Chains A and B, each alone.
Chain A
Amino acid sequence: MIERIKVGMADLNVVKSPGILVTLGLGSCVGIALYDEHVKVAGLSHIMLPSSKVIKNNQNRAKFADTAILLLIEKMLDMGAKKDRLKAKIAGGAQMFTSATNDNNLLKIGERNVISTLEVLDSLNIPVIAQDTGGNYGRSIELYAETGVLLVKTIGHGIKEI
């Protein structure tokens, strides 16, 4: 029986091969998958907001791109991963509704989540090897610790492996 771990909103988790990490219904949130191929350790984070720095109520580190990535790396290192071997894949960051007023920051949060995620990964020298972001539709993702494959499922926009 392969271990299948659900990662909720503003949550993260790690697993060793052959485990699978799953997060369902990503909208504007971003799913950040990190993988160390050498030891087959996978980590998945479901972030909601770009940065912990502009928000007072920031105790939950898994909620923000900046703090979640650091926490996810810590947990992966505990399981034998090495930081310089980590590679990233990201998915999500959609804009579910198009606003009539057009300049609403909340609606563009998906895009801001993606930008912040890429910046944080770049600052940590973690290469982003695949990305399926944007659009106006939801995504469910599954990260396979055995292969590092990230499966992206949508309603009406197909299924793909990245």
Chain B
Amino acid sequence: MDFLDGMHLDVLKEIGNIGAGNAATSLSKLLSRRIDMNVPEVKLIHFNQIEMVIGGAETLVAGVYLEFTGDIQGTILFVLDKVSANNLLSLLIPNYSIKNEDDFSPLERSALQEVGNILAGAYLGSISVLTGLSIKHSTPAFAFDMAGAILSVPMIEFGQMGEQALFIENIFIDGLNKIESNFFLMPNIDSYPIILKALGVYK
């Protein structure tokens, strides 16, 4: 992000790392089984490259979107492709079988929304603990569409600040089922100084 220097970026990355750790713990509790997670990759990428991360602008992906408010405001988007979403659903829903290759049922949507909800709580909880800031989040909204269209939501938010986006890639692993998820955490422009100040890195 053009307005952030290297130190600010490191702080945001660290928040991403801690949040991802909490997220894996929360997911393990939800599923009552151990979930291994690789060290998440937290990076800044130019929004012209972002769709390549997910496999092209027309790749179908599921997106769960939430807003947070309180001492800081912003949005969260949790994105996964169809295969990862189905792998995740097979962990969540007993005797799960894929009914429709091209869409998600109301139950499947609701289950994915709940995962988005839990992950958002885990990330925001870590920011809250680190900074002492009070943060609440909304109920999640769901969409299944082209990656480019879904990712345009966070990209537009970042587009107001610069030419890049903060991007967190998590890979949750349960046995042989690999679940690749992408998590976008987007404080709005006025919230960055508040977070950094609360962490004592911004005067």
Chains A and B come from one and the same complex: yes
Q: Using a CB–CB distance below 8 Å, which chain A residues touch chain B?
A: 8-11, 24-29, 48-49, 55, 57, 60, 63, 94, 96-101, 104, 106-107, 109, 136-140, 155-156
Q: How far is the CA of A11 from the CA of B159 in the complex (A)?
A: 12
Q: How far is the CA of A106 from the CA of B50 in the complex (A)?
A: 19
- What are 23 A-B contacts defined by CB distance under 8 Å? A8-B48, A25-B148, A25-B151, A26-B148, A26-B149, A27-B145, A27-B148, A27-B149, A28-B156, A49-B156, A49-B160, A57-B3, A60-B163, A94-B149, A96-B143, A96-B145, A96-B150, A96-B152, A99-B141, A100-B138, A106-B156, A137-B149, A140-B146
Q: How far is the CA of A57 from the CA of B47 in the complex (A)?
A: 15
Interface mask (B62-77 → A, CB under 8 Å = 1, otherwise 0):
0101010000000100
What B residues does A55 contact at CB under 8 A?
Answer: 160
A24–B57 contact, CB under 8 A? yes
Q: How far is the CA of A44 from the CA of B63 in the complex (A)?
A: 27
Q: How far is the CA of A138 from the CA of B47 in the complex (A)?
A: 17
What A residues does B155 contact at CB under 8 A?
Answer: 9, 48
What B residues does A49 contact at CB under 8 A?
Answer: 156, 159-160
Question: Tally of A-B residue pairs with Cβ under 8 A?
Answer: 110
Q: How far is the CA of A73 from the CA of B172 in the complex (A)?
A: 48
What A residues does B51 contact at CB under 8 A?
Answer: 9, 24-25
What A residues does B56 contact at CB under 8 A?
Answer: 24
What B residues does A97 contact at CB under 8 A?
Answer: 63, 65, 141-143, 153
Number of interface residues of B (CB under 8 A): 38
* Nearest CB in chain B to that of A11: its residue: B48
Of the candidates A96, A99, A100, which one forms a contact with B149 in the assembled complex, judged by CB atoms under 8 Å apart?
A96
What B residues does A156 contact at CB under 8 A?
Answer: 102-103
Of the listed residues A25, A63, A107, the one surrounded by the most CB atoms of chain B closer than 10 A to its CB is: A25
Per DSSP, chain B at the interface is mixed
* Nearest CB in chain A to that of B159: its residue: A48
What A residues does B156 contact at CB under 8 A?
Answer: 28-29, 48-49, 106, 109
Q: How far is the CA of A36 from the CA of B1 in the complex (A)?
A: 38
For the complex, is B60 an interface residue (Cβ under 8 Å from A)? yes
What B residues does A109 contact at CB under 8 A?
Answer: 156
For the complex, is B139 an interface residue (Cβ under 8 Å from A)? yes
For the complex, is B114 an interface residue (Cβ under 8 Å from A)? no
What B residues does A138 contact at CB under 8 A?
Answer: 145-146, 148-150
What B residues does A107 contact at CB under 8 A?
Answer: 153
Q: How far is the CA of A109 from the CA of B147 in the complex (A)?
A: 18
Q: How far is the CA of A11 from the CA of B155 in the complex (A)?
A: 13
Given contacts A24-B51, A97-B143, A97-B153, 5 further A-B contacts (CB under 8 A): A24-B58, A28-B149, A48-B152, A96-B143, A155-B146
